[in-house]
Structure 1
């Protein structure tokens, strides 16, 4: 039998923390998009998928 459970936490950041969260999420989005771009380019050139 498989039991799945999850926890949900509501964040209540202060204004300074909101700015830091926005900066962090922007950095994560940038890194993800750069990796995706590299994977697409490698596939177009070599018809082979990159692995990480």
Structure 2
């Protein structure tokens, strides 16, 4: 699981670099932010499930 989380973190860093580089226009940035918000909601939903383990 830690290896998977590290991979996810690496992917998020790549996305952040690309967003901050200006390679994507405003519409692509909105799509990325929408997708990241969905990921955040999913992770928040998982957190209580694993908190007591």
TM-score interval (norm. to shorter): 0.5 to 0.7
Among 27, 30, 42, the residue aligned to 1:19: 30
5+ residue gaps, structure 2: 1-13
Return the structure number with greater helix share.
Answer: 2
TM-score (normalizing by structure 1): 0.54
The structure that has the greater radius of gyration is: 1
Q: CA RMSD in A?
A: 1.6
| Count of matched residue positions in the alignment of Structure 1 and Structure 2 | 34
TM-score (normalizing by structure 2): 0.54
5+ residue gaps, structure 1: 1-8, 44-48
Among 17, 24, 40, the residue aligned to 1:29: 40
How far 1:37 moved relative to its partner? 1.6
Structure 1 stretches of 4+ moved >2 Å = none
